[in-house]
Structure 1
């Protein structure tokens, strides 16, 4: 399978997005429409619009998840191999993003080294013959037992 998302999955994703927008408009419209007209039509219309909006938002979220991750990747179908195939475009994209980050770290390291600011500092420790504690290289006495090194 290629690392491209199919047109069918993209269409499902965007349909879900449109449903979410419609649901939000339906939900919020309840606050801006004249309350008196709602009571003339009946109190059920006051509840109906936000309820339909919430249903649209829920269905839209499900469709967006299926469109983005595929049926197995979103958990609709429990098949690990199919999920791996469905998530392959995102895994490849994340791998490229990680590689971009690593390249930026390497570039920063190169810039520091070119300025003479080496970030790697070598630390030398001396082991005490008496107790085995690691001490700084310029230490005369052990910081743990106090014996001369």
Structure 2
């Protein structure tokens, strides 16, 4: 499994982010323009067409940008475009490693030791007379009092 993300995936990720930002700005510009031209109905048809183009185009760029960003981040198999579990596991490995590291960092910050709280092994001795289990350092049975 690779621990690095390929350059093509990084490019797709950043390209997707770029498209998402442009789409968001286009979509948001519809509301800014409407607020600035509130009550002005001159050239209404042209303004409506422009707003419709920016609104629908912005939403389309938001959707396409997020799809490309998701594929760039997780890879083709990791995002479910290609159905190959082995390839998906390989492509998602850097993120799995990162998530495990984040959990470890959080536990260290909370001063929780990994592996703490595991019970120690206890050896018990069975009394030959009554069958009671006694701790290993017992000299006499806790139930019947006979020597072990």
Tell me, yes or no, whether TM beats 0.5.
Answer: yes
Structure 2 CA distance for partners of 1:14 and 1:36, relative to 1, 3 Å: farther
RMSD of Structure 2 on Structure 1 (CA): 2.3
Contact in 2 for aligned 1:38/1:46 (Cα 8 Å): no
Residue 45 of structure 1: how far off its partner (Å): 2.3
List gaps (5 residues or longer) in structure 2: 114-148
List gaps (5 residues or longer) in structure 1: 110-149
The answer to whether residue 42 in structure 2 is matched with residue 46 in structure 1 is no
Task: Tell me the equivalent position of 2:66.
Answer: 61
Structure 2 CA distance for partners of 1:25 and 1:49, relative to 1, 3 Å: same
The answer to whether residue 102 in structure 2 is matched with residue 97 in structure 1 is yes
The answer to whether residue 108 in structure 2 is matched with residue 86 in structure 1 is no
- In 1, Cα distance between equivalents of 2:13 and 2:42: 36
Contact in 2 for aligned 1:38/1:45 (Cα 8 Å): no
Which structure's residues are more often helix, by fraction? 1
Task: Tell me the equivalent position of 1:114.
Answer: none
The answer to whether residue 79 in structure 2 is matched with residue 71 in structure 1 is no
Residue 98 of structure 1: how far off its partner (Å): 2.2
Task: Tell me the TM-score normalised to structure 1 length.
Answer: 0.64
Contact in 2 for aligned 1:23/1:52 (Cα 8 Å): yes
The answer to whether residue 14 in structure 2 is matched with residue 9 in structure 1 is no
- In 2, Cα distance between equivalents of 1:97 and 1:73: 20
* Runs of 4+ residues deviating >6 angstroms: none
Task: Tell me the equivalent position of 2:119.
Answer: none
Aligned residues: 109
Structure 2 CA distance for partners of 1:15 and 1:38, relative to 1, 3 Å: farther
